[in-house]
Copies of this chain bind each other. A is one copy, B any other.
Amino acid sequence: MKRIAIYHLETLLWIARLGTFRAAAERLNTTQPAISARVREIEEQLGIAIFRREGRNMVLTARGRRLVKECEPLWAGFEKALLTASGFEGATGTVRIGSGEIAAASCLPAYVQEVERDLPGVTLEIELDLTARMLQQLLGGMIDMAFLAGPVASPGIRTVGLGAVSLVWVAGQETVRAGGFAQNLPVWSIPSHSPLHGVTLETLAQGVITPRSISTCNNVRTLIEIISGGGGAAVLPEPMVRSLLASGTLAEVLPRPVRKIQFEAAIRGTESDPVVLELFRRAAGLRIDS
């Protein structure tokens, strides 16, 4: 009985969350046989079956479910106690962060720097993705925190605002010299998921400009390069093009839209891991205003 360690319980929790041994193994940075062994050890120690084979998956038995339920808050409390004792400087582990592309450019550099300074033992795994998929991954436990643009209200997700940045209508230097919107530029945007796309449409709806066409690219960096090369005009977050504006590669071609783009950090509403909660707390302290 005494031979059950904390990581055995942590293993149970992650299997319960992710559904398969393999996913838990990946999540815990180990191998599937190790997970199998841990589960076997717990079952042997307790003399009960915690999982039952169901097709090619393992599912929790009633007792297993109860055990997991009881252990979850205890595990969180334990982690918190240890981290509190070491003042969080001793925090270790891997936290997976999803981020939208725009949020990544605007929020991540400062954030990562802060975390690496204050919590040197924590490894971050950052993956850029679309907002919808990120929320799904967040709920499914594949990522622990997400940075994203635009207000998100999803059940089971807890968010905090990080600030807002201005948007600017820009076009390439050459294009502007050639007359800008006087000559029916093509407008570029990113696919309809993004709040940027909404702003693009709003401006167009005002009838100020008549685009030659509306093209999209799902990668903002590439889009910026297209614009820089004279491909047309686009609404972009000011921080992402600030240096290009300063160097003259890009120039503003319309008044700045009133709407700004909001950034948020998101975690599961049920998140209990103190490291993730601490990272979320720190994210909430970011102020990404332009």
Partner-B contacts on A (CB < 8 A): 1-7, 9-10, 45-48, 50, 63-64, 66-67, 70-71, 74, 77-78, 81-87, 89-93, 121
Residue of B nearest to A10 (CB): B2
A275 vs chain B, min Cβ distance (A): 9
| Set of chain B residues within 8 Å of A86, measured between Cβ atoms | 1, 46-48
- Work out how many copies of this chain go into the complex: 2
State the majority secondary structure of interface residues on A: helix
Question: A6-B4, A121-B1 are known contacts. Are A81 and B74 too (CB-CB below 8 A)?
Answer: yes
Closest 5 CB pairs of A and B: A5-B5, A70-B81, A46-B86, A67-B85, A1-B92
| Set of chain B residues within 8 Å of A47, measured between Cβ atoms | 86, 89-90
| Set of chain B residues within 8 Å of A50, measured between Cβ atoms | 85
| Set of chain B residues within 8 Å of A64, measured between Cβ atoms | 85
| Set of chain B residues within 8 Å of A2, measured between Cβ atoms | 6-7, 10, 92-93
A85 touches which of B63, B90, B92 (Cβ 8 Å): B63
Complex CA–CA separation, A284 to B28 (angstroms): 45
A87 vs chain B, min Cβ distance (A): 8
